[in-house]
Amino acid sequence: MSEAARRYRLCQFCIDREGPGTHFDEVDGPSCSVCSGLFDRIPQAVEGAASQMRRYQFRSFTVGMTLPEGIQEKEDELRSALRLKGSETVKTQAVRLFAVLLAKKVRKPVNKLKPDLTLLVGMSDGSSSVTTRPLFYYGRYTKPPGMSQRRELCRHCSGAGCEKCSGTGYGSRQSVEWHLRRRLGAIAGSDRMTFTWMGTEDLESRVLAPGRPFIAELKNPLRRVLPKRFASRFRGKQVSVDRGRLLVSRPLRVPPFRFRTLITCTSRTAIHPDRIHELGKRFRRADVRFDRPHNRPVTKTVYSAKGSARGRRLIVEAVLDGGLPVKRFISGELVSPSVSEVLKTEVRCRSFDICEVRERGSFTYAEVTRI
Ligand SMILES: [Zn+2]
Ligand SMILES: [Zn+2]
């Protein structure tokens, strides 16, 4: 045994890692010059981790670990003193052994690239914490009139949080978002959610089947199975979701879409039937320009627009590109050509319903997502 090696007394685990080729005196874990018994404490920490993980639904997991202070430095010292490379680091070995034991205990495999669950264990006290990969739930909602899409800020504090809103910053009126949060949150056991909406409508708009697409990101969920359809009712109003499914990861890009809408309007003067006919002809795959406020102008397509008028009341059924505001398309405010422009009279939108939203293309994802 070399003189330098004599200064180190290692446990079985550390000998396995630093050897072979160098002889060390083998000692019990707590007397080990490098790990001070780290490896002996792993089985108990695994028990603790497994009981933490019990309330989560997951198919695979990965382990992250922090070692007690000084262990990695002691290993570095030993390796440079004895010019050893070792087969792996003390941390890699500890994580590997921990994960093997844990996989047996919870009967789930390790997946480092895309785990459902990530366990972080602090080996100084053996405590662990769990986070889970977010869920990306795609669905389509339908809604009745008199309900907004997004939850509204509290009107007393404008979102800062006050007594009236119990510090949430949001008002108590029901919205599509409120319903989705309530139901999806309860099903998945997630209290943090963000929404991506494919377009929006008015408070008074109905959204009819098959509904408007949305994506809900559910953070740190307890459960990972969500229903394809559900309905949420509250005070006589209902929001329904259909075509629900989980996306593989966060989409990089949401596809463009077009929508069919039924618009109820009033005009300043009675409309001549010839003008109604002109409306259908003018808006057949027509480009319209939208001068977006505080943004660059865009060109959108109006695929069709059919009108029927009785006196000053006008109904328009139109198929529009997503992002073209219905009310402005009617009034002509910042949009040209518009229904008002073609009918040569001032027309106002009273209300509009969303009859169909159709995606054009598919979602785009990153090649590999590392979390
Ligand atoms: Zn050791
Ligand atoms: Zn408030």
Q: How confident is the model at residue 371 (pLDDT cuts 50, 70, 90)?
A: very low
- Provide mean pLDDT across the span 82-88: 87
Residue-wise pLDDT for 175-228, tens only, equals 999 999 999 999 999 989 999 999 999 999 999 999 999 999 999 999 999 999
The C-alpha atoms of residue 337 and residue 358 are separated, in whole angstroms, by 23
User: 192: CA distance to ligand 2 center in Å?
Assistant: 19
Q: Percent of the chain having pLDDT more than 90?
A: 86
Q: What are the phi and psi torsion angles at 91 (to 5°)?
A: -70, -45
Q: How confident is the model at residue 368 (pLDDT cuts 50, 70, 90)?
A: low
Domains by residue range for the chain, with CATH: 3-55+67-108 (no CATH), 135-247 (3.30.70.2510), 257-359 (3.30.70.3190)
The C-alpha atoms of residue 350 and residue 264 are separated, in whole angstroms, by 5
Average pLDDT taken over every residue of the chain: 94
Contact 178, 193 (CB under 8 A): no
Give the β-pairing of 207-219 and 313-321. unpaired
Q: How confident is the model at residue 363 (pLDDT cuts 50, 70, 90)?
A: confident
- Provide mean pLDDT across the span 9-38: 90
Structure confidence at residue 23 (pLDDT): 82
- Provide mean pLDDT across the span 264-289: 95
The C-alpha atoms of residue 248 and residue 365 are separated, in whole angstroms, by 8
Amino acid at 239: V
Check whether 115 has a pLDDT greater than 80. Answer: yes
Q: Which residues contact 274 (CB under 8 A, 6 or more apart)?
A: none
Ligand nearest to the CA of 161: 2
Check whether 305 has a pLDDT greater than 80. Answer: yes
Residue-wise pLDDT for 230-252, tens only, equals 999 999 999 999 999 999 999 98
User: 297: CA distance to ligand 1 center in Å?
Assistant: 67
Ligand nearest to the CA of 24: 1
User: 168: CA distance to ligand 2 center in Å?
Assistant: 7
Structure confidence at residue 198 (pLDDT): 95
